[in-house]
Structure formats: structure tokens, C-alpha cells
Amino acid sequence: MSKTAELKIGDASYQLPLVEGTENETGIDIGSLRSESGLITLDPGFKNTGSTKSAITFLDGEKGILRYRGYSIEELAEKSTFIEVAYLLIYGELPTPEQLSAFQNDIKVHTLVHEDIKKILEGFPSNAHPMGVLSSLVTSLTAFYPESLDPNRSADKVNLSIIRILAKMPTFAAWAYKNEVGHPVNYPDNELDYCSNFLKMMFALPAEKYEVDPVIANALDKLLILHADHEQNCSTSTVRVVGSSQASLYASISAGINALWGPLHGGANSAVINMLENIKKDGGDTKKWMAKAKDKDDPFRLMGFGHRVYKNFDPRAKIIKKAADDVLAKLGVNDPVLDIAKGLEEVALNDEYFVERKLYPNVDFYSGIIYRALGIPVDMFTVMFALGRLPGWIAQWKEMRENHEPIGRPRQIYVGENLRPYKGVSER
Ligand code: SDX
């Protein structure tokens, strides 16, 4: 293949370099387009536009491939742990036993948060959405660790900021839940692993002895692995753009949390369960709701379906669907919305509208069913997504910083008023 693309506009011709990735993806480098031609490209939603070259995660939407640093999601979900996957994403290689042990210990010594953070938490009413609480508590770290405001510090000091937020995010997430249910917060128990500590902080009550169920802890660990990174999705792109202004890691992660909150992105897992519950209340008529999803005049969309990249199947959805069956069986939970979900999937996979548009279940379609079986309330589902995505956000922020990428500042095509003279109010 030629190493350049030729762009012809009228009599003018421009040679634009082609960039080829290690998985043979090819892009047109338009870095010189405006200076050479005065033209820009336009691509709302960046559906056809790459923002960076990254070595972290590879997706193939046609083949349903997802790999973290070259390792398949299927192998990692089956054989690894969330903390090991976090290390892999952030530092680029699987840790040796000594590196993994040191990483786990580094995290354990930073799980406690400053006691004054409880005063911030107490300022939230109990109806505060946990995602708003989470992003606020993450931003508050800039106050308790002002040295973190400078992203240009030594690698060791930046790494300390990374360890701190990996360690404190489960504490913040559990505290956001406790604020919502009006229970006293629990402090971290560093005798436990990452997921068990989180579950204990979430569900332990003063008057009762809480024992972590290993089935639940293992299911949660697998779910966090499946959510850990997903290349340049909406929230990760937000983290990169905010970080590109040299805002701090914590400010960038807080921005990512808020981007993830939207129902078209990470908020979809909660929206799926609410949708399934509505369909159940409405008598479980999946065909009626499929018709609504296809009706352009109806704002209803089949939440948990469709994906910007996956046009075949989302490999994570396949793994989560099987895990849902396993976990609910192990816990002896019979959730009728699981059958409704499977019914919707079956109808959609054979419906021309969905097949034509290549709409398949995505990561959010079945995950809420497992979270609910684990006893996690619906509006905490997106917090769980954020907990899983944290190492991916960190890895992408770190890569952007280490590659000294320029500040993110897209151009536009102006379609507003042309120059017009000002008229005072008496002249109008
Ligand atoms: C995540 O990017 C990532 O990697 C994200 C994520 C990650 O790990 O970070 O994978 C996590 O966000 C998963 C997606 C969760 N969101 C949902 O489940 C919400 C429901 N899905 C849609 O809103 C939609 O599919 C998106 C947002 C996921 C993708 O939107 P696109 O790529 O902009 O596609 P589109 O909206 O242009 O849709 C193309 C066509 C349209 O029909 P036409 O105009 O061509 O006739 O498909 C239709 C859409 O109306 N369509 C749907 C639909 N999704 C798309 N119709 C009904 N129900 C749906 N869910």
C-alpha cells in the first residue's frame, strides 16, 4: 500500500502520510492538512477520527476482539485478578510475584482517607447520586495532596498519586453508598484483598459480623477486569483532554467519572435494569418494547444495545452473560429480569432493524443483573463501572503525559451570523 493518501480538491492535490499500527490499522495523518490546504476535517462524535496512538488496549469491532497490552480479555477475565490487570494496564507488563506483592502493599497502606473527607461527605444529602459524590471526593484529593496538582513532578511522585487514588477509590465508592443509605461509614480492612475490602466497607453494619462471600468477591473481581479499559471511549477521551491541559491526575479522573455518568455511556448499566424493570411491570411484552426501540418518533432506546466500535458482538457481554448465569445459580438468586434480558436479546438478534444496524448487547446489558444479585443498588452500578475503569483512565492519562501530547483543542466550522453592526436598544 502507498505510504501516503492523496487528497484532491479542485486543481490542488495534497499528499497526506499514512500511519499503520501494529495490528495493521491504518489512519491518515492530517496533522499538516490545515497548514498546507487551509482546510480542516469535520466529524461530529469523532466516529472516524483517531485522537492518539496508544499501546494500551486493542479493539477489533468486527471480530469482537478486546486485548489489554496484547493479552485477550477472555484469558485475563479467566486467569488474572483486577489488581494484576491494573498493574498491567498502568505499567505495561504483567508484574513479577515480587512486583505484584509490592503493588498490593503500596495500595493497602493508602486505603485510609483523611478524616476531614467525612465532613465533605456529610455535606451531601442522602438523595445525592453516588456518582456526584464520587467525583467530588476524588476532586477533594487535590486539597489533601496539593503536591498532586503538578503533573510534571518526578515519576516517583506521580506514581504516589496513582497509588493513592487506586487505594482510595473503593473507600470513596463505599462511603458514597453509606451516605445514600444513611449508615455509618466503614474504614478499610487491609487484611482483605481489594474486592473483599470494598464489599466489607459497603455492606458491614456496626451491629453485625460481616463475612465476605468469596463467590461475590470473585464475581466482582471479574467484572472490574472486564471494565478496566476500552481505548478512546467517551470518558477516557475526557480524561486525556482534561489531562492534556496539565490539569492534575485527580482533576482528570474526576472529569472522567462525570463523563461516564451519562446514560449513553457508563450510566447505561443502571438504565438497563430500570428498562427491564419497566418492561416487567408492563407485563414483559418484549415485542412491544422492541417496536418502541425501532420507532424514530419514540425516544425509547434499547439500553445496553449498540456500540460505537463493536459491530459484531461485545466480547465482554458474552463473558458477563455467562457469569450472570453462574453467579445467580451459585447465590441461588432467581431474577426474572434476566429472562426478559435474554428474551430481548433473542428477538433483537433476529430483527432486521438491529441486524442491519449491527446492534448487539454491550458490556452494560447484563452487568446490572449481576450487580443486583451481589446486593449492589442500581444507582451504584455506574460507580462500579468507574471503579473498574480507574486503572484504564490512569494508564491512558500516564501515556498521554509521557508522550508529551499537545493540549486537546479541536477546530470547528462556523455556521453563525456574519459581521453585523451593533445597534443600541433604542435603535432596534
Ligand atoms: C459503553 O465507547 C466505548 O467503548 C464505551 C464502552 C466502554 O467500555 O467505555 O463500551 C461502554 O458506553 C457501552 C454503550 C452503553 N450505552 C448504551 O447501551 C446506550 C444505548 N446505545 C446507544 O445509545 C448507542 O448504541 C451508542 C451510544 C452506544 C452508540 O451510538 P453511535 O455509535 O453514535 O450510534 P448511533 O446513535 O449513530 O446509532 C446508529 C443507528 C441509529 O439509527 P439510524 O439513525 O441509523 O436509523 O442505530 C440506532 C440509532 O437510532 N441505535 C439504536 C440503539 N443504538 C443505536 N436504536 C435503538 N436502540 C439502541 N440502543
- CB distance 358 to ligand 1 below 6 Å: no
pLDDT tens column, 4-52: 999 999 999 999 999 999 999 999 999 999 999 999 999 999 999 999 9
| DSSP structure class, residue 20 | E
The residues spanned by each domain of the chain are 4-50
- Tell me which of 3.30.1330.10, 2.20.28.60, 3.10.180.10, 3.90.226.10 is the CATH number of domain 4-50: 2.20.28.60
pLDDT at residue number 271: 96
Does the pLDDT of residue 312 top 90, yes or no? no
d(CA 100, CA 417): 59
| DSSP structure class, residue 184 | P
The three three-digit cell numbers of residue 376, written as one number: 449492589
* 247 φ/ψ sector (left φ>0, alpha ψ -120 to 50, else beta): beta
pLDDT at residue number 2: 81
Distance 386 CA to ligand 1 centre (A): 19
Over residues 203-231, the mean pLDDT reads 96
Does the pLDDT of residue 140 top 90, yes or no? yes
Distance 373 CA to ligand 1 centre (A): 26
pLDDT tens column, 362-383: 999 999 999 999 999 999 999 9
| 292-297 contacts at long range (C-beta below 8 A, 24 or more positions apart) | 293/353, 294/351, 294/353
pLDDT at residue number 1: 73
Strands across the sheet containing 4-9: 4-9, 12-20, 26-28
Over residues 102-117, the mean pLDDT reads 97
- CB distance 306 to ligand 1 below 6 Å: yes
Over residues 224-251, the mean pLDDT reads 98
Predicted TM-score of the model (pTM)? 0.96
Distance 305 CA to ligand 1 centre (A): 7
pLDDT tens column, 158-185: 999 999 999 999 999 999 999 999 999 9
Over residues 89-105, the mean pLDDT reads 98
322 closest CA partner among 300, 344, 298, 338: 338
Average pLDDT, the chain: 96
Cα atoms in the Cβ-side hemisphere of radius 13 Å centred on 340: 25
